Amino acid sequence: MKDTLAGILFVIIGSIFLFISKSYKIGTTAAMGPGYFPMLIAILLIIFGVVIFIKSLYGHSK
Amino acid sequence: MKKIISFLVFIFFSLNTVVHANPDTSLIVGYGPGGTDTLFRVFAKDTTEHGGLKLTVENRAGANGVLAIKSYLQKQSFDNEVLGVTGGQTLFEAITNPENNFIEEFKFIGPVLKSPLALAVSSNGSIKSLEDLFDKSKPRRVVNIAVGGEFHRALATLIAKHSHHDVRAVMYKGGADANVALKGGHVDAQVDVYGWFIQQEGIKILGVAQKTPLESAPSLDPYIPNINAVNFWSIAVSKKVQNTQKIEQAIRQSYVKNNRTQYWNKLGYQIDDNLNSDYVQRVVIPEYNRWKKILVDDSNKKK
Amino acid sequence: MDILNNIVSGFSVAVSVTNLLWCFIGVTMGTLVGVLPALGPLAAVSILLPIVFNIADPVTGIIFLAGVYYGTQYGGSTTAILLNIPGEISSTVTTIDGNQMARKGRAGAALSIAAMSSFFAGTVATIIIALLSQPLSKTAFFFGAAEYGALMLLGLFAAVSLNHGSMLKGIAMVFVGILLGLVGSDVNSGVVRFTLGIQELTDGIPFAILAMGLFGLGEIVYLLFHERKDNKIITTVDNLYPTKKEMKESLMPTLRGTFLGSILGLLPGGGAIMSSFASYAVEKKISKKPEEFGRGAVAGVAGPEAANNAGAQTSFIPMLSLGIPTTPTIAIILAVLIIQGIQPGTTVISKHPDLFWGLIASMWIGNFMLLLLNLPLVGLWVSILKISWKILYPIIILICLTGAYYINKSWFDVLLLFPFALLGYIFKRLDCQPASLIMGFVLGALFEEHVRRALIISRGDWLIFLNKPISLAFIVVTCILLIIGISYRKKNQEDNTKILKN
């Protein structure tokens, strides 16, 4: 249960940051804009949040 | 148990008194300690020792100096507080973020310290002379210039415009950081003020960004026509402040009394003390317009 | 031998009555301020700065400031162990096992071990400074953007290992920390990010607010909703000083921590910060009983404490010999030197030998004074834990609120405590450790700054991280740690299921 909620929390936090970072210039690798890195991390956070969420459900049904 | 509480209360109050133990004038500086703030500290020390007015530096770092300026200007009364301003804050912050244009809200009350920007390389770097940078017959190469602030970046942008090489400004958090990168060979050159560079070892100043050359530093004018990038530091108060006589007296006394002009010159700074309260109108605003034209309007033209 | 002469003359400078006195005042005030959460070395040095200008002799002034600086390291561990609130960044790691030790009744042992390993590290680091400052000072130059980027990456992985629960949650917490660390203005572009238009956030979320909110207040909120069975944080206090076993267990971690801290302290920006949790990560990986970490492992206190003290001392080297400040606090001390007319640089040792060697000797004396100060005080500190939480927690809240205000004289900072307190509560309920978040916070912005810079310099070529030897070395170490971490976790899972089944 704890992990399920934690997963959801991470997805929420990640989504908020992802949404806001889209409003900044992303730029290219050679000239990373202010939005590049936060977007990257936010996406990773969302992915991990989803994984944690799924893992917690799977653990339960065991 | 009671002992502990009284102990903590004692600490709390003694900290309180120490923090609030400065009834005299505060010189608000918009930077953290080290770097730009050092200049203001020397200034404050001078004024305290020789000018008879106790000036204490209060750091209010934030947003490249803007936070300090804003918090100062928003006050109701301006007793006991003056502001330390720099060219970088007033000019370049205003250009990059027009909502942070405070130029018209000050008047300068202290002498203005000036030092031109300069371009320096490491003594054992791959760039040895201005020719290496600007001679069009040299093969095109990558050039990374370390800069520690927006004003420095502006000069680097100008250099990029006039050089055929692939020149980019690499931003650092301050001159010290940028200098480490230079000495480590991670960048090819650095821009900072002349006065700062002559205190450093192991570097060679290629040129200064003004028409008149300085000791061991030729002018960049042959390569960048009409170049004039001079940073300044001064004490300012809000335009609303009526009586600034006392402070102006004290500051003037501090550097006249022991010939500070020579001291500053040796360090690579000039003092412009031809101050009427129209210094802002006379000098700063035209500078602002000039740079705005160079940076903003020109880049718009390119589009 | 030249160095011996210098050390002797250094001691003769340091042992003057004035210098001893100011050294003592410095370390005492430093410890006191360090004990208070929110006020770390930067605040301490800034607050006490005016005093320095009234001291005529620059050598005395520097001895005083240096004392304040490493004194706060000692004080910071005290709050970390007792109250689970990091006094400043480098004490964050001490909260993990230090506080756990306290809850098991080993508070006295934890405090003593922290003091002793700090003393050992301080002493050794002083010797290192004395012998190797010239060659070591050049270290800072080898680190460019790519090298720092790779180092930060390594640090972020070390941060994950601060988590003693699920590795996935640990990584996620680091990401949350990084994102929070990105709030504020961006060095490279000047754009202000994630501040939602709030002016006060333009320079980011102050570390102290995040720490006090997440750790201190979050815990208190938790306790408000979940009544404790007993009235105190701990009910029993076993003997105040460490057992022989505990002393033995802290020996090697102290040595390793000292080594790590001494090296990392030389690096500008992030070096000294990283030393404490790099040490934690190393100890956890090397330990024969890694499951103890997070539950009161002695090594988890001894190593990091040694590391951060060693780092604090060696961070003087680049400042004195090259004029490069490695942390903001050192930058203040540098500014003070410059104002006093002393230009740090390669000539400072020859031009002002009394300053350099006097400072080094006084560092040793200062560390010794701190040991003498702190060990007897252990009893006093521990008795704080015996206070009924009904009284103690309001005091903590008061101290946090006051500290928050004093950082920038801003009410906004105080207000900001509350959302983080709430967040801290939520994380605690969900079994997520704030320590990893904090490390992500501290390192995240630095990581981005260096990676971006490296890519500007290389014009977009990612291979720069593999082309530069130091950077490559860090990346290789990161991969090795990652592999060890995964295989250890697999093994642990098997062991755990076996234990559960039994």
What pLDDT digit, counting tens, does each position of C341-397 carry? 777 776 677 777 788 888 888 888 888 888 888 877 777 777 766 776 677 778 778
Contact C47 B177 (CB under 8 A): no
In this prediction, residues A4-20 reach a mean pLDDT of 92
Residues of B in contact with C328 (CB under 8 A): 32-34
What are φ and ψ of residue B293, in 5° steps?
-60, -45
In this model, does residue B225 exceed pLDDT 80? yes
What CATH number corresponds to the domain at position B208?
Answer: 3.40.190.10
Contact C268 B180 (CB under 8 A): yes
In this model, does residue C113 exceed pLDDT 80? yes
- The shortest C-alpha distance from B170 to chain C (Å) reads 7
Closest partner CB to C328 (pick from B18, B33, B42): B33
What CATH number corresponds to the domain at position B290?
Answer: 3.40.190.150
Higher pLDDT, B37 or C502: B37
Residue C453 sits at the chain A interface (C-beta within 8 Å): no
pLDDT at A13: 93
In this model, does residue C174 exceed pLDDT 60? yes
Sign of the C-alpha dihedral computed for residues B288, B289, B290 and B293 taken in this order:
positive
Q: Are C143 and C470 in contact (CB under 8 A)?
A: yes
Which of A13-17, C39-43, C351-355 has the weakest average pLDDT?
C39-43
Which of C31-40, C257-266, C472-481 has the weakest average pLDDT?
C31-40
pLDDT in tens, C261-283: 888 888 776 667 788 888 888 88
**Which ranges of B74-197 does DSSP label H, i.e. alpha helix?**
87, 94-96, 130-134, 150-162, 175-183, 194-197
Same domain assignment for residues B197 and B284: no
Dist. CA B149–CA B157, nearest whole Å: 12
Which of C164-173, C223-232, C268-277 has the weakest average pLDDT?
C223-232
Residue B122 lies in a domain: yes
Residues 168-197 of chain B with CB under 8 A from chain C are: 168, 170-173, 176-177, 179-181, 183-187
Dist. CA C259–CA C483, nearest whole Å: 24
Residue B126 belongs to domain spanning = 117-229
In this prediction, residues A10-16 reach a mean pLDDT of 94
In this model, does residue B197 exceed pLDDT 50? yes
Residue B12 lies in a domain: no
pLDDT at B187: 93
Which of B38-42, B167-171, C291-295 has the weakest average pLDDT?
C291-295
Tokens of B48: 């305290």
Dist. CA C132–CA C314, nearest whole Å: 10
Dist. CA B18–CA B24, nearest whole Å: 14
Taking 3-state DSSP, the helix, strand and coil percentages for chain C, each rounded to the nearest 5, stand at 80, 0, 20
Which residues have CB under 8 Å from C408's CB, separation 6+?
B60, C206
- Selected for mutation to probe chain A from C175, C178, C457 (highest A CB count within 10 Å) is C175
Q: How confident is the model at residue C255 (pLDDT cuts 50, 70, 90)?
A: very high
Q: How confident is the model at residue B298 (pLDDT cuts 50, 70, 90)?
A: low
Same domain assignment for residues B220 and B247: no
pLDDT at C164: 67
- The shortest C-alpha distance from C456 to chain A (Å) reads 5
Beta bridge partners of B143: B167
Instruction: State ipTM.
Output: 0.92
Domain-wise residue ranges, chain A: 2-61
pLDDT at B63: 66
Closest partner CB to B186 (pick from C46, C144, C338): C144
pLDDT at B173: 80
pLDDT at B303: 40
Tell me how many residue pairs between chain A and chain C have CB atoms under 8 A apart: 85
Residue B9 lies in a domain: no
Contact A38 C189 (CB under 8 A): no
> In chain C, how many domains are there?
1
Q: What percent of chain C has pLDDT over 90?
A: 7
Beta bridge partners of B147: B171, B191
In this prediction, residues C55-77 reach a mean pLDDT of 83
In this model, does residue C176 exceed pLDDT 90? yes
Same domain assignment for residues B223 and B239: no
Q: How confident is the model at residue B219 (pLDDT cuts 50, 70, 90)?
A: very high
Burial class (CB in 10 A: 0-12, 13-18, 19+), B22: middle
Task: Decide which of B202, B229, B256 is a domain's last residue.
Answer: B229
Average pLDDT for chain C: 80
Dist. CA C258–CA B27, nearest whole Å: 41
pLDDT at B109: 82
pLDDT at C234: 56
Contact C269 B180 (CB under 8 A): no
The radius of gyration of chain B's CA atoms, rounded to the nearest angstrom, is 21
Residue B299: other Cβ atoms inside 10 A: 11
**Which ranges of C138-289 does DSSP label H, i.e. alpha helix?**
139-142, 145-160, 167-181, 207-211, 218-225, 244-264, 271-286
Same domain assignment for residues B254 and B105: yes
Residues 279-298 of chain B with CB under 8 A from chain C are: none
In this prediction, residues C299-315 reach a mean pLDDT of 89
Residue B6 lies in a domain: no
Same domain assignment for residues B50 and B176: no
In this model, does residue C501 exceed pLDDT 70? no
Higher pLDDT, C59 or C302: C302
Q: How confident is the model at residue A11 (pLDDT cuts 50, 70, 90)?
A: very high
In this model, does residue A57 exceed pLDDT 70? yes
Higher pLDDT, B124 or C339: B124
Same domain assignment for residues B57 and B81: yes
Tokens of C72: 């706060």
Dist. CA B182–CA B191, nearest whole Å: 10
pLDDT at C349: 72
Q: What percent of chain A has pLDDT over 90?
A: 42
Is beta strand B81-86 parallel, antiparallel or unpaired with respect to B230-238?
antiparallel
pLDDT at B302: 47
> In chain B, how many domains are there?
2
Residues of C in contact with B166 (CB under 8 A): 459
The radius of gyration of chain A's CA atoms, rounded to the nearest angstrom, is 14
Tokens of B128: 């040895």
Closest partner CB to C179 (pick from A2, A41, A52): A41
Residue B7 lies in a domain: no
Q: What percent of chain B has pLDDT over 70?
A: 85
Residue C124's Cα: distance from chain center in Å?
Answer: 18
In this prediction, residues C127-137 reach a mean pLDDT of 77
- Selected for mutation to probe chain B from C186, C199, C330 (highest B CB count within 10 Å) is C199
Dist. CA B237–CA C290, nearest whole Å: 60
Closest partner CB to C172 (pick from A2, A30, A45): A45
Which of B79-83, B121-125, C9-13, C227-231 has the weakest average pLDDT?
C227-231
Tokens of A62: 């065991």
Residue C467 sits at the chain A interface (C-beta within 8 Å): no
Which of B154-163, C109-118, C325-334 has the weakest average pLDDT?
C325-334
- The shortest C-alpha distance from C313 to chain B (Å) reads 19
Same domain assignment for residues B201 and B59: no
Same domain assignment for residues B216 and B245: no
Residue B199 sits at the chain C interface (C-beta within 8 Å): yes
Residue C79 belongs to domain spanning = 2-501
Q: How confident is the model at residue B34 (pLDDT cuts 50, 70, 90)?
A: low
Q: What percent of chain B has pLDDT over 90?
A: 18
DSSP state, C431?
T
Same domain assignment for residues B160 and B190: yes
CA nearest to C72, candidates C30, C105, C42, C102: C30
Dist. CA C327–CA C335, nearest whole Å: 12
Q: b/e string for C337-366 if b means 16 or more Cβ within 10 A?
A: bbbbebbbbeebbeebeebbbbbbbbbbbb
